[in-house]
């Protein structure tokens, strides 16, 4: 292998600031650590400056290294002009901690041959930093590094020379199998960006793509299309970062056709690793608009190397990209008479992405004159029903321009909407046995309304597969809240919720009592999707009172922990930092692993899609950490990263098998739901949903168009996945089938409550649903809704024979004294009552949890689990021990300590109105995973719930003395 130095650089030339031309500044030497005879202290005024005269041996690029000190905590930016032209806009000089602490920053500029004037001018009232010197290093073009393919490491391929035109002594003919590869060794003299050029021939008409990796890192998929003949050699290129020294570059075939004929690899140094983003574009402004378009312009951003492009976003969704020389664009395909929130971001070649420009809200013009309404929908009919819903279908309307939507009326009042392409809808929240009248009409962009369809009547009725969760009556728990984002339930059944923009956390009861418990310290907004986001508690909350929080801070996004006690927050502690933030794509959901006791975190790419494929970045990932913020030893990459290749994941929840599901915002084509696998790569940015180059990535389980979803919240009930959407303004429900696919989609509440953010299931099995009217700019106009969940075939308890009874007392009756502490006067020495139940189809085992539920609480007394599926009863007076004597492997645990923790712990105190419940769970596995004799009662209950498919309750009142 031949190695040539990767760059020819003239030695840097130092120019001391004290020898430069100074305007409104003085030379001083009162802070140690400077070079030369002193440094320049800028006057504390805008316009103070230092101008160097720099000689360049030749025209071209040069790296400027400024050494400085800034003993304040305030940035002291300067404009850098070269020969009278702005080269760097507001170059940041951040605080260094002390005036004796010196630091360096770099920028790349273009110099003329001969003399050049480099002027630093303070742009703020604090002036510039203390400036020591500038080092100027000119670089010439970098020579190449090369290796012939026949000299590389070859796996499932042979060296041949039967096709003319190759270099060296031959070429590599890949075997026609997936996984064949050539691995080159390229030795770089310096770390930085390198252009890889692969010389190849492909005499077929079929692309033979290769996955390119460096030292086993993230793969870049590179196409190698046909070249016309095996004697026609062409090149394919990509850019990578190489370290100084030897780099293993592997090119692996990704299809059964193998790779092309490989001749050689050439690596060319492009420049040093660049971690500095461009400055934000300034002065974003609207320059025109029509009913379907908006024209924008902005002032140029600057970068230490070069701005290569601008991305134009509408409220978090990429709408258009232009090159770095273009400072205006028109976005088409918009809806008439609609407000759009525009932001522009600059990017460089690395790519680093700037922070957001100012945002501009532009309303499109009304649609052109159109007085012709759509035709009437026809053939309205009922196609199905549950106890709380009716499914409708109709024949589509037509329009002279376009049908933009349908309005669905129930008993003469507008109930919900449907998309203009829809011909079906489900109307939920109905009352069983009540007859309803339904009719539908269409509308166009000018809000011309068709006449109504035929009216039909139907009556919701129970039926269908048992245990299917159907949305029933909807009530408002809280009005006047502001972008409620995180929502977590406490052991007493009440909830804590976060407000994204105010940084407040409130406690909310189902009855609507709302109490402010505190404001999260250090939280900041981003003017978009950042702020105070996800909340979660661990199974140990009843003893440690820890509340886990995801929020945006000054340096980025964080996961923190606080204590929630007595309706107040305290003890703020940072668990995880280093998560980049941006105006959009911050992620933010938290969810506790029911089996592994780990905290899972969804994190967006912060609008830099390259981070999603960087295993060393925390952005564009699902993260997994221990309760104290440390990294679990079994994480796949040695850091907090659990999965990668995500754009903006938010919703998280676990199914009955303990598997994690995740909802994710797409860019402009597809939103998606994924089944998360340890170490998995979900494809972003190469793959969006199922669109793009998706080979080798984990495919989503469900996709929707970005116009009909934008999924933020996700929760799972009885293995039915509920997803709340913002743009779609609806809730989707899909069933997880035996093949782990999402099937039988039903859509609820479209257009009824506006944008929907968060969906969570409470301790009673009902849903709390939050609205998200954040796009209208008005505070305190959101709601938290309660959606009653009614199960097919019966009430919220599974129907049929699956029912828990006791021969000792009736449901809601008094529990006899012998089964309470009153039996012997000593808690923990109690006799367990006899219990019997009917079989639940497909149950692999059973579990029973006994709890005190007075005053809305859930004080856990005792649990027994791993009861064999063949057992449908428990005898009176179970024996003591973690492994229950005579019960075929069943295990038990109680709230007591010592020996009392391994025997039945009955109700005490009591009183004739003091309620207790025995809850029977049908479990989907023969043993509940993750439980030991040291597990807490809260951990046991959580694990049982997450492994169960159904439950039923036996209620009783204790007559033990209070």
Burial 120-158 (b: 16+ CB within 10 A, else e): bbbbeebbbbbbbbbbbbbbeebebbbbbbbbbebebbe
For 908, the enclosing helix (H) or strand (E) is: none
Task: Please tell me the distance from the alpha carbon of residue 909 to that of residue 916, in angstroms, as a whole number.
Answer: 11
- Determine whether 585 is an active site residue: yes
Task: Please tell me the distance from the alpha carbon of residue 551 to that of residue 584, in angstroms, as a whole number.
Answer: 13
Pairing between β-strand 948-958 and β-strand 813-815 as defined by DSSP bridges? parallel
The end-to-end CA distance of the chain, in Å, is 86
Cα 797–Cα 803–Cα 804 angle in degrees, nearest 5? 115
| Nearest in space to 953 (alpha carbons), one of 857, 848, 819 | 848
What are φ and ψ of residue 650, in 5° steps? -130, -75
Answer yes or no: are the C-beta atoms of 210 and 259 closer than 8 Å: yes
Burial 804-822 (b: 16+ CB within 10 A, else e): bbbebbeeeeebbbebbbb
What are φ and ψ of residue 940, in 5° steps? -65, -45
Q: What is the DSSP letter of 610?
A: G
For 271, the enclosing helix (H) or strand (E) is: strand 261-271
Is 175 strand, coil or helix?
A: coil
Task: Please tell me the distance from the alpha carbon of residue 371 to that of residue 674, in angstroms, as a whole number.
Answer: 45
Per the structure block, which two tokens stand in for 145? 């590094």
Task: Please tell me the distance from the alpha carbon of residue 356 to that of residue 367, in angstroms, as a whole number.
Answer: 30
For 937, the enclosing helix (H) or strand (E) is: helix 937-947
| Nearest in space to 562 (alpha carbons), one of 577, 541, 578, 545 | 545
Answer yes or no: are the C-beta atoms of 882 and 910 closer than 8 Å: no
What are φ and ψ of residue 611, in 5° steps? -65, -30
Determine how many CB atoms are found less than 10 A away from the CB of residue 169. Answer: 10
Cα 586–Cα 588–Cα 592 angle in degrees, nearest 5? 155
| Nearest in space to 310 (alpha carbons), one of 344, 276, 352 | 344
Answer yes or no: are the C-beta atoms of 672 and 647 closer than 8 Å: no
Cα–Cα separations (whole angstroms), residue 165 to 168, 181, 535, 626: 10, 22, 63, 58
Reported residue count of the chain is 962
Task: Please tell me the distance from the alpha carbon of residue 306 to that of residue 277, in angstroms, as a whole number.
Answer: 10
| Nearest in space to 105 (alpha carbons), one of 309, 336, 276 | 276
Per annotation, catalytic residue among 31, 163, 585, 914: 585
Burial 204-217 (b: 16+ CB within 10 A, else e): eeeebbbbbbbeeb
Per the structure block, which two tokens stand in for 537? 């508690």
Task: Please tell me the distance from the alpha carbon of residue 685 to that of residue 614, in angstroms, as a whole number.
Answer: 11
Cα–Cα separations (whole angstroms), residue 442 to 192, 375, 450, 671, 702: 59, 8, 5, 27, 28
Q: What is the DSSP letter of 794?
A: S
Per the structure block, which two tokens stand in for 47? 């316009």
Q: Any idea which residues carry the catalytic annotation?
A: 585
């Amino acid at each position: 292998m031949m190695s040539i130095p990767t760059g020819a650089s003239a030695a840097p030339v130092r120019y001391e600031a004290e020898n430069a031309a100074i305007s409104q500044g003085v030379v001083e030497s009162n802070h140690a650590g400077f070079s030369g005879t002193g440094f320049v202290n800028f006057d504390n005024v805008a316009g103070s400056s230092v101008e160097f005269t720099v000689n360049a041996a030749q025209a071209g690029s040069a790296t400027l290294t400024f050494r400085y000190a800034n003993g304040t905590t305030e940035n002291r930016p300067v404009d850098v002009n070269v020969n009278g032209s702005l080269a760097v806009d507001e170059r940041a000089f951040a605080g260094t901690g002390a005036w004796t602490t010196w630091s360096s920053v770099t920028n790349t500029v273009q110099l003329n041959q001969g003399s050049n004037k480099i002027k630093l001018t303070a742009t703020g009232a604090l002036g510039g930093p203390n400036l020591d010197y500038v080092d100027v290093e000119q670089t010439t073009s970098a020579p190449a590094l090369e290796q012939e393919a026949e000299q590389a490491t070859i796996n499932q391929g042979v060296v041949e020379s039967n096709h003319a035109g190759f270099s060296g002594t031959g070429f590599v003919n890949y075997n026609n199998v997936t996984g064949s590869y050539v691995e080159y060794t390229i030795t770089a003299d310096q770390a930085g960006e390198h252009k890889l050029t692969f010389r190849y021939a492909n005499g077929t008409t079929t692309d033979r793509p290769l996955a390119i990796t460096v030292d086993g890192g993230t793969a870049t998929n590179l196409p190698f299309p046909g070249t016309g003949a095996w004697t026609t050699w062409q090149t394919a290129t990509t850019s990578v970062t190489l370290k100084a020294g030897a780099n293993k570059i592997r090119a692996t075939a990704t299809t059964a056709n193998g790779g092309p004929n490989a001749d050689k690899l050439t690596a060319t140094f492009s420049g040093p690793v660049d971690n500095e983003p461009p400055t934000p574009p300034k002065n974003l402004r609207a320059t025109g608009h029509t009913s379907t378009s908006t024209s924008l312009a902005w002032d140029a951003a600057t970068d230490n190397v070069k701005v290569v492009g601008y991305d134009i976003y509408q409220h978090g969704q990429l709408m258009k990209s232009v090159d770095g020389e273009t400072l205006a664009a028109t976005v088409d395909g918009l809806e008439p008479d609609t407000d759009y929130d525009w932001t522009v971001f600059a990017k460089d070649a690395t790519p680093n992405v700037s922070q957001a420009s100012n945002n501009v809200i532009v309303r499109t013009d009304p649609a052109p004159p159109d007085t012709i309404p759509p035709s009437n929908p026809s053939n309205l009919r009922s196609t199905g029903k549950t106890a709380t819903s009716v499914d409708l279908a109709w024949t589509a309307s037509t329009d002279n321009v376009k049908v933009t939507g349908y309005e669905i009326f129930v008993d003469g009042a507008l109930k919900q909407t449907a998309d203009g392409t829809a011909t079906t809808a489900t109307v939920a929240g109905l009352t069983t046995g009540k007859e309803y009248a339904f009719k539908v009409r269409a509308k166009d962009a000018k809000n011309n309304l068709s006449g109504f369809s035929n009216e039909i009547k139907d009556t919701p009725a129970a039926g269908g597969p048992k245990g299917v969760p159907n949305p029933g009556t909807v009530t408002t728990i809280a009005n006047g809240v502001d972008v409620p984002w995180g929502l977590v339930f406490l052991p007493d059944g009440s909830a804590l919720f976060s407000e994204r923009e105010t940084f407040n956390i409130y406690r909310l009861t189902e009855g609507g009592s709302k109490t402010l418990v505190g404001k999260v310290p250090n939280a900041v907004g981003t003017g978009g999707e950042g702020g105070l986001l996800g909340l979660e508690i661990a199974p140990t909350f009843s003893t440690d009172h820890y509340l886990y929080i995801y929020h945006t801070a000054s340096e980025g996004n964080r996961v923190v922990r606080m204590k929630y006690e007595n309706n107040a927050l305290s003890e703020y502690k940072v668990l995880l930092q280093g998560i980049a933030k941006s105006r959009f794509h911050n992620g933010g959901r938290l969810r506790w692993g029911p089996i592994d006791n780990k905290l899972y975190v969804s994190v967006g790419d912060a609008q830099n899609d390259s981070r999603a494929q960087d295993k060393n970045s925390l952005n564009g990932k699902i993260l997994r950490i221990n309760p104290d913020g440390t990294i679990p030893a079994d994480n796949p990459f040695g850091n907090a990263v659990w999965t990668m290749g995500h754009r903006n994941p938010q919703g998280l929840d676990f199914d009955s098998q303990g598997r994690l599901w995740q909802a994710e915002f797409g860019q402009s084509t597809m939103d998606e739901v994924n089944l998360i696998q340890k170490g998995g790569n979900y494809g972003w940015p190469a793959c969006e949903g199922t669109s793009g180059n998706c080979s080798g990535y984990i495919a989503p389980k469900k996709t929707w168009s970005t116009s009909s979803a934008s999924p933020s919240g996700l929760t799972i009930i009885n293995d039915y996945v509920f997803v709340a959407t913002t743009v779609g303004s609806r809730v989707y429900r899909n069933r997880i089938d035996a093949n782990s696919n999402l099937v039988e989609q039903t859509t609820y509440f479209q257009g009824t409550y506006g944008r929907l953010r968060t969906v969570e299931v409470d301790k009673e099995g009902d849903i709390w649903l939050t609205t998200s009217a954040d796009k209208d700019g008005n505070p305190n106009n959101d709601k938290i809704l309660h959606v009653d969940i009614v199960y097919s075939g019966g009430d919220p308890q599974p129907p049929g024979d699956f029912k828990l009874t006791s021969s000792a007392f009736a449901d809601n009756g008094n529990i006899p004294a012998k089964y309470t502490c009153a039996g012997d006067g000593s808690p923990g020495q109690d006799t367990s009552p006899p219990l019997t139940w009917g079989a639940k189809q497909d149950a692999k085992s059973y579990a029973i949890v006994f709890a005190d539920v007075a005053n809305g609480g859930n004080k856990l007394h005792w649990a027994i689990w791993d009861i064999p599926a063949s057992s449908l009863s428990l005898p009176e007076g179970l024996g003591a021990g973690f492994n229950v004597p005579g019960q075929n492997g069943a295990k038990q645990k109680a709230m007591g300590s010592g020996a009392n923790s391994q025997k039945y712990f009955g109700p005490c105190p009591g009183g004739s109105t003091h309620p207790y419940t025995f809850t029977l769970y049908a479990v989907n596995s023969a043993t509940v995973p993750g439980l030991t004799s040291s597990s807490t009662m809260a951990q046991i209950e959580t694990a049982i719930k997450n492994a169960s498919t159904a439950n039923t309750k036996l209620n009783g009142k204790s007559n033990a003395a209070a």
